[in-house]
């Protein structure tokens, strides 16, 4: 069984791996993987990070990441609400298929 973890947390993708600015390291997913076979993480895409120091690996086995590009600031949540909502629906549908 799969679960979707939806959060506005930004993740940086580098070389096929996903990194957090510290809030969601890979060991956090263990608490969900004890109950579910897979975790589909839905979050925001961090466009770039000037300093990779402080980033922690969030990728791990049985966890997939689906990132939304359109929300880069709190103002985007209002201005691009319709686009973000449509993207979220598509990502949720994709993330939960298997």
What does the DSSP assignment read for 17-67?
EEEESSSS-GGGGHHHHTT-SEEEEEEEEP---S--TT-EE---TTEEEEE
Question: Per-residue pLDDT for the chain (98 aa), expressed as one digit of tens each?
Answer: 889 999 988 999 999 999 998 889 999 999 999 999 999 999 988 877 676 778 999 999 999 999 888 667 778 778 888 888 888 888 788 777 76
CB 68 within 8 A of CB 84: yes
| Edge-to-edge strands, sheet with 17-20 | 56-57, 17-20, 2-14, 38-45, 63-68
Backbone angles phi, psi at 86, to 5 degrees: -65, -45
Report the pLDDT value the prediction gives residue 49, as an integer from 0 to 100. 67
């Amino acid at each position: 069984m799969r679960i979707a973890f939806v959060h506005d947390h930004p993740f940086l993708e580098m070389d096929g791996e996903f990194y957090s600015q510290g809030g969601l390291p890979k060991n956090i997913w263990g608490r969900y993987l004890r109950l579910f076979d897979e975790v589909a993480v839905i979050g925001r895409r961090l466009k770039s990070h000037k300093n990779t120091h402080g980033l922690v690996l969030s990728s791990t086995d049985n966890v997939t990441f689906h990132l939304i590009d359109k929300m880069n600031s709190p103002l985007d949540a209002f201005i691009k609400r319709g686009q973000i909502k449509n993207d979220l629906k598509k990502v949720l549908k994709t993330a939960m298929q298997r």
